[in-house]
Structures are given as C-alpha cells and as structure tokens.
Chains A and B, each alone.
Chain A
Amino acid sequence: MNRQSLSCHGTRHGLIVLAIILFGLGDSLPALSQNNSEIRSGRIGIEYAKTRYGRKGSQYKSRRNNIMENNSKMGFWSVGLLGGASFNRQERESGYMYDMAFDSGWGGYAGISATYMFFDWLSIRADIMYSQKNYGMRRMSPELQRLGIRSFYTNHYLQIPVMADWTFGELVRAHILTGAYGGVWLGGEVDRVTIYNDQSTHSKYTFTREDNRADGGLVGGVGVSWDPWQFLRVGAEAMVFYSLSNTVKSQPVAYDRRYNTNIVFGVSVRYVF
C-alpha cells in the first residue's frame, strides 16, 4: 500500500472513528466504564470498530497504533496554524441613555500555535493570535431607531495566550485549555450612521489618550484533536478570552468600564515533531 492510498484510507477511517466518538459513543459507554485498563490500551475501541466495520478493523488498528504512539510520546513539540470566527461582547454601561444598546459582534481570528507535551495528559501551549473584538452600539427608542443611529466598531488585537492543555482520550482526544493571555489593541474601524448622515460611513478609529491599548486576562477553552498521520494533528476548538484589562485607562473616579469577552471558534492544523 503506497503512502497516498494509506493517507486516503487513514482519513476515511479517521472520520469513521470521529463519527463513532461523536454520534455512536452512547453504545460503547457501558463497555468503556467496565474496564479501565482496556480503555487505556485502546482495546475496547478497536473491538468496537472491528465489530462495526468488519475487516477494515485491521486497518483501523494500524492507524490507531500510530495515534497511540503519538499519545504515548512525552517531551515533544507540535506547531501549527489556527483560525476561525470570533464573537465578542463588550461589557459596558450606557449611563442614562436607557435606549442605548450594545450588541455583540462577529469577526475572525487567525494565528500560529506551539505546544510542548510534558505528559500524556498535560501540555503547555502558546499562540500568537490576531483576533477581532467587535461590537456595536445602537439606539432602541422608536424615533432614534427610525433615524437609524448606530455604530459598529471593528477592533484588531494581537494576543499571546499561554495555556495548560489538559488532554483526555486516545483516538480523538479532548482538550481543556486554561491559562492567561496578554495582548495589544492594534487599531480599529468604525461604521456609523449618525443623525445627519443617513448613509453609513466607514472610518479608521483614532486612538485617544484614554484608550488602554494593553490587553490581558484569562483564557479557557475546550477542543478535540485527531492525528490523521503520525506527524499531523488537526483539531477544532472554542476558547474564551476574558479580559481583565479595561479598554479605557484607569481613572480615579467615574470609572468607565469597558471589558471585552471574546469567544473564538475554529480549527487548527499542527505538525508533530
């Protein structure tokens, strides 16, 4: 079997296994709970696959061995790319403008990621990410709604999360990410409709002396990964960047709070060394 056909079968089997985990796991759960040693050795999963897919189970076993080899490695690196959609909410107050509403905004993120595995169940991970932390402002009163007054802020951030990657499972591995991040607010744009401009305008955001461009906070997330080849790991993940730094510089009184909570949903591809 040449490498190309192997990879093709590997991908197909991988998808089958992913399907088993995601949709058929309910059938195997009683068995999984019966014997932990069998779970660790992967026998239950192999037997299940054999039963379900007949002779292809042997190919599955071969792929699984590669995966288990990766999983049993300790002290190895992986680097890769990640990207997807970001969803941001800015926590702030409208003051006495009770008809002013702040909307969450969708955007995107992309980055590079490096992971170092200490143990089978714990890695440390650091990313360099570009992420958008967007939000909108609009007015709710019928009169102002009719005038269409609204603004949408697109904000560009560069951030570096450093996380502990708690890993579970064997074939398709689950990840729980916990850590902190630091970043910088690079810039932004504003799309606006104001009272005398019924057409939306687009302009670059101009920083003011009160803007706090340093960003930082907590990050947490969940994900799954799977190794289609020994050297390649693909994954899907969701992370929450919970900012603890106000986007307005600290003020002794009349504290103007504006905190971002940025949720990213995306995929990753890593090369495993």
Chain B
Amino acid sequence: MKKSLLYIAVTAMVLAGCRQKGDVYFDPNDPLNMAYTTYTGQFEAIWRGLNTHYVFWSEDSTNWDAVYKEMVPRFQELDTAYAQTGAIPDSLTFIGMYKDVASKMIDHHMVIQWRDVHTNKIYQYRPGQEEVNSRDYVQGQSYSLAAIKEAINGFVTGGLLSSGTWGKLDSKENFFGIRNVDNKKIAYYWQNNFYMSSTLREGEPDTDDELAKQYVKNITGWLDVCLNDSNLLGIILDNRCNNGGLVNDIDIVVGSFISEPLQYGNLRYKEGPGRYEYTDWIPAIADTNDIRNRRDLEEDNIPYVVLTNAYSISMGEMSSAAIKLLPTGCMIGERSFGAHGQLQSLSTIFHDGSFGDPNGKHYVYTSSLQLQFLEDGILEGQGITPDKSILQMESGYAGAMEKAIDYIKAY
C-alpha cells in the first residue's frame, strides 16, 4: 500500500505541474516592448497590445487568434526576404497586410500607425475610415473642411441664413448664423470640433487675431440667442464634418436645454486584462449641474435640429444622439460615422485605450470605452441613423439645411 500511495503522490505532483504558464499580458507602453527589430516583432507588439487594450472584443466578430496564426508567417516572410535580399515591403503590400489584420475591427476611432523597422518610413491604416468610404451614400461625395465651409457660405449667399460670422482659433473653426423668419430667429451653429467647454472656461484669447476673438464670440453669441432670445423660433446645430472633441461639451449643447440631467446611454471600460473583463455599465449623462443659464426647450416648445453626415464623428455623433432624445429634438441628414468609444487617458486605471508611441515605432489610437446608446444599443462601426434621412448625394449640403428650416417653421 505504501508503494500505491507513493505512486499516487508522484502522479499527483506531475499532474499538478500541468497548469500552463501564462504569457497574455505585457505592457504595450513599455519601451522594451517596442524595441523589436523585425516586422514580425512589430506585428506581435501591435497584436498583443490590441489583445489587451481593444475595448470592443465583446462586440467584434474578428477572430483575433486566427489573425495571429495567419499573419505571423506572412510577416516572417518579410523578415526572411529582408535578411536574404534586403527587400523592403512596398506601401501597398505593407498597408495591405495591416488591412488584413484590422479591416473588420469595428472601432471607428482606430488608427494603426507604424514605421518600417529598417527605413523608418511611416504608415497609417484607418479601418473605420475605409468602412465609411465604402458606404454607398458616401460614394463620390466630399466631406472635407473646405467643402462644408463652402456650403455654409452658400447658405448665406443663397438665403438659407440671413447673416453669419466665421471664427477660427488655432485649428478650431466655427460659424454662428441667424435665419430670420417673420421676426423670429433660427439660431444656427457649426464647428469642426467640440471645444466649447474649454474655450468658455479660458475666455477670450489675449491676441490681436480677430478670427480668434470671433471664435469665442460665436459660441457665446449662439448660446445667448438660444437661451435668452424671446423671439427664438428654433435651433440648428450643424454637426456635419465635425471631428469630435470634448465629451463635456454635451453639458453645453444638451444640458443647457433641459431642466433635469438626461441619460443618453451607458458606458463601460475594461477592468481587467482579459479580452472580456469589463466594468459595469455606467450611465452616460448630459448634465445640468454646471450649467447655470438654462432654457427648457420642451417647456418653451422650441424645436432643436441637429444635422449629421457620414463624417459626423465621435462627439459629433454622441451629441446628436442625445439631441435626438430631447422631446423637441430632431436629427436630420445622413447616418453618422460610427466612432462612439471615447478616448480617455486612463490606461493606468483600465486595460484599454491607445498604446505605443506616436513618435516611435508604432502607435495605435483606439477607444478607451464602449458606449451603448439608450435606445439603439452599441452602434460602434455603424453610426447613428437620423430621424429624417437626407443624403448629400441627392441634395448636397443645402438639402438637410432646407429640411431643418422647414421642420422648424412647421413645428
């Protein structure tokens, strides 16, 4: 019996050693993990970083392990070719390989940036932008800053707006316009980014640049008409070609027009290093706490229209979704970009978000949280569908504007 016990004990000890060792987690921001010298090493660093930091694994259909299995031999081929002949992959091949890695990933904020490990040439791949450009209603349309600015100028010259002024502070541009309708006013506002809260906090810039001063005046002027003008007929917030910005601005463009905080969705982070380890859903709220001057649009029965197109991105979409929820709110235009996962620098708290070095060998710009809209759920990669669909390919930039004015007049 002693022999039996000994045999069992030895067997148990051998089996007890059968727990596999883990190698899942490495710090994607550790310089040591960016010290690779091969194409394969670079791919592994990006793959492992996304393995932990990508926040949409619960929603994404990409088989990440299969991607690794398929792509490692291909990157090894590049390394072999370089070792044997000094061959450097051409742009098409290189970008094509990262397209095979990430083209199905739904994070529409994502930008994968890398440098050739031998030549230091920089490359970028944006899976979200590629998906949006492939949408049928986007084909042949221009969503550039120049295109929307030209269109807004056309609103004034064409009579859709009675007056308006441009502002520009650094790379931030805005336009505040008024449309007079039978002694009533429609307050129109466009901006290419959301930086209202920080701009208002900082106040008028100490500069001789009139455009910079006007930029601040446009924000305060639009808010003043919206909040205080007794002749206000309606509001138009034009989020077309808006690249996003500060999420706190939702308290201004929504919180200013409600009497109680509005929950427009829920958000969650990754609390653990595993692909599916998330925090609880946390309410995403347009708050009224810091907004002292408010006007309840429902009480005053004033319509609030938000315009969107395929290049309404991030806060350009989230603010639109919140306005859509308002009792007098209406979203007109195109289905938006589909980048709703906000970007916050919380990588010391959560296992998610951007990693790498923007000036180093690789950098991956990626969302740090999932946003789930109250009514429509998670729309990352899909975009928000407007209440009234007006496509630019059918009626240009003016089509949605005309529809908005008609809607307000008829409200």
Contacts and interface: CB of A to CB of B under 8 A. Distances in A.
Contacts of A34: none
B271 A93 contact: no
Interface stretch (B19-27, B110-118, B150-158, B166-174): B19-27
B60 to A, nearest CB: 11
A154 to B, nearest CB: 15
B18 A244 contact: yes
B65 A252 contact: yes
Question: B-side binding surface: helix, strand, loop or mixed?
Answer: loop
B21 to A, nearest CB: 7
Most chain B beta-carbon contacts within 10 A, residue among A137, A194, A244? A194
B271 A94 contact: no
B12 interface: yes
A203 B280 contact: yes
A256 B274 contact: yes
Nearest to B19: A259
A211 B52 CA distance: 16
A220 B16 CA distance: 11
Contacts of B27: 95-96
B25 A95 contact: yes
A210 B51 CA distance: 13
Interface string A234-273: 0000000010101010011111111100000000000000
A208 B280 contact: no
A96 B12 contact: no
Interface in B347-404: 349, 351
B19 A220 contact: no
A92 B279 CA distance: 18
Nearest to A121: B1
Contacts of B87: none
Interface string B23-62: 1111101100000000000000001100110000010000
Interface in B57-100: 58, 65, 68-69
Given A252-B69, A254-B24, A178 B19 contact: no
A201 B268 CA distance: 14
B351 A95 contact: yes
A176 B1 CA distance: 13
A164 interface: yes
A200 to B, nearest CB: 10
A93 B184 CA distance: 64
A218 B21 contact: no
B5 interface: yes
Given A195-B349, A197-B280, A248-B274, A218 B19 contact: no
A47 interface: no
A220 B13 CA distance: 11
B273 interface: yes
Contacts of A190: 280
Interface of B: 1, 5, 8, 12, 15-16, 18-27, 29-30, 47-48, 51-52, 58, 65, 68-69, 269, 271-276, 279-280, 282, 346, 349, 351
Closest CB pairs A-B (n = 6)? A95-B25, A96-B27, A257-B22, A208-B276, A95-B273, A256-B24
Interface of A: 91-97, 100, 121, 137, 139, 144, 149, 151, 164, 166, 176, 178, 190, 192, 194-197, 201, 203, 208-211, 218, 220, 242, 244, 246, 248, 251-259
10 contacts: A95-B25, A96-B27, A144-B349, A164-B8, A195-B269, A208-B276, A209-B276, A251-B24, A253-B65, A254-B51
